Chain A
C-alpha cells in the first residue's frame, strides 16, 4: 500500500500526561493504493478532513501512531526527510488561486518543480507538459495569473502541483466557487488523470454530485473519526447511515425516489447517472 495509517491521531495542541486533549483526527486506520484509486473524503466542517489530508503528505506529523507514505515511515519520533514526500504526494489547497503570485501563469506553474530542486529548463518543460494536461492554452500561459478567469486560475494552481509529477494527487475542495462549466471541466480533467495516468486521486468535497460522478471509494469523517470507508455506490444505498450523518443524496437519486413514490411502480432508485436512471425507467416503464 502506498499510504498506510496505523492508529493515527493528531492534535493541534501538545500532548501532556493527565491532560485531555482534543484530537482533530482520532485513531485512524487507513490503506490507500498507489494507483487507480479515486477517493472522496466527506464530512462536516471541523470533522477532520483537512487535517487527514495534511497527514497524508507529511505537512503534519502524527501525535500518536504511524503512517507509511510511499516507503517512508513517519511517527511522532522518527527523524525523516519530509520534503521528498511532499513532492510524491501533491496537495492542492482550498482556493489555491489565492496563492498564485508570479508575473505569468507559466512562471507560476514552473515554481512548483523548481522548488523541489529541478533545474530551470527541465522545470519549464515539466510546467508546459502539466499545462497541456490540464488544458491551458499558450495564450493563458503568457498572461498574468490575475488576468484570467477563476476556473483557469485553479487549473494553473493544479498544473503547478502536477508539474512535480506526484504519484498521488490530493485536492481540498477543488470545485468550490467554480461555475458549473468550470466545475464539470475540472472533474473531467481529474477523471482523465485517474484513468489515463492511473494516478490515485483523493478529493475533499461536500458536493454529493461530485462524489457520485467521480469517486470509486468514499471516506466519511465525523468528529475526528472515520465512520465509513468503502464503495461509493454502497454508501448511497445505506439510508440509515446517510440520515444519521446528515449527508445528502445525489439529485438523480432523489428524483428516482420521487418518481417511484408518485408512479407507484417498483423501480430501483439507486442509479448514479442519467444514463443508468433512463435504463432503469425503460426496463420498468418501457414496452
Chain B
C-alpha cells in the first residue's frame, strides 16, 4: 500500500521562482526513502508540502489515502511528524518531559496515556535519565533525540527528518543515524540529507534538482549516475571517484574486478 501518493504537484514561493515542478511520487508504507539535493533544490519544500505545512499550488498529495485539503489538514498533520535541522529551534518545554508532552497535549491525549507514552519513547531514544533536564543543557545529539521522542510519541505513520544530522558533531551524527536506522521498517521514513553515507542504507534514493525529481532508484543505481549527480550539484561517493580515476587511466590490469570490489565495499557495513 502506498502511504504517500503525489500527483503532478506544483508549488512556488514567488511568481518568478518555481520551487516544485510537476512532481509525482509514491512511497510505500514502511519504506525508508532518502531525498538528496543541493540547497534550494526543492527537497525541504517537498517535505513541508507532504507534512501539510505548505499548501500546493496545484496537484494532489494523499497521505494514508487521504487527500490533503483544508478539511483534512489536521488529520494529515497527525499522521506526519517532522524532525528539523536546528536542534535549538524546536523546543517549547522547560524540561525534556514537558517537551515530549507538548505534541500530546495538542492532541488532547489523556494524562495517563500521555505519561505512559513519554516514558516509552524516552526509553526508546535513551533519554529516560534526562526527563527532568532543561533541554538547553543537552548536547546537539541529545536534543535531536528529544525531538525524535516527541514526534514518535504522537504515533505518526510517516516521519520526515529534514537534515536532522547536519548541525551535529560526529558523535551526535552517529547517535541520530543509529536512531533513524532503528526505526527502519517500523515507520515510513523520509530523510532529507546531504550525507551520502546515510543514503547508502536507504531502500530508495530520490535526487532533486531545480524542483524536479531527476533520479528515483535504489542507492547503488543512483550512485552510479555520476553525470546526473554532478549536474545536480551533488557530491559523488569516494569509491565512485576512485573508480572513475581507474577507468580514465591505463595503469591497472584488473579494472573490472577492482571496480566490482569497490562497489561491494561501499555497501558493506
Contact = CB atoms under 8 A, between A and B. Distances in A.
B169 interface: yes
B242 A206 contact: no
Contact of B242 (A151, A255, A262, A287): A255
Contact of A255 (B40, B238, B252): B238
A282 B248 CA distance: 13
B18 interface: no
A243 to B, nearest CB: 14
Contact of A176 (B166, B249, B254, B262): B166
Contact of A259 (B37, B172, B233, B262): B262
A251 interface: yes
Contacts, number: 89
Interface stretch (A11-19, A81-89, A111-119, A178-186): A178-186
A209 to B, nearest CB: 8
B169 A258 contact: no
Nearest to A247: B170
Nearest to B195: A180
B234 A282 contact: no
Interface stretch (A24-32, A68-76, A218-226, A270-278): A270-278
Nearest to A94: B167
Contacts of A246: 170-171
Contacts of A275: 245
B169 A44 contact: yes
B246 A278 contact: yes
Interface size band for A: 20 to 34
A120 interface: no
Interface string A18-47: 000000000000000000000000001110
Interface size band for B: 20 to 34
B39 A176 contact: no
Given A178-B39, A281-B246, A206 B169 contact: yes
Nearest to B235: A180
Given A179-B39, A182-B39, A287 B253 contact: yes
Given A149-B39, A179-B194, A181-B38, A274 B258 contact: no
Interface string B219-251: 000000000000001110011011001100101
B39 A151 contact: yes
Nearest to B139: A45
Contact of A281 (B39, B85, B234, B252): B252
Interface in B140-171: 140, 163, 166-167, 169-171
A234 interface: no
B77 to A, nearest CB: 26
Interface of A: 44-46, 149-151, 176-182, 184, 206, 246, 248, 251-252, 255, 258-259, 262-263, 274-275, 277-278, 281-282, 285-287
16 contacts: A150-B39, A176-B167, A177-B166, A180-B38, A180-B235, A181-B234, A181-B235, A182-B39, A206-B169, A248-B170, A252-B238, A255-B239, A274-B238, A278-B245, A278-B246, A281-B252
5 smallest A-B Cβ distances: which pairs? Answer: A282-B251, A180-B235, A181-B233, A251-B238, A179-B38
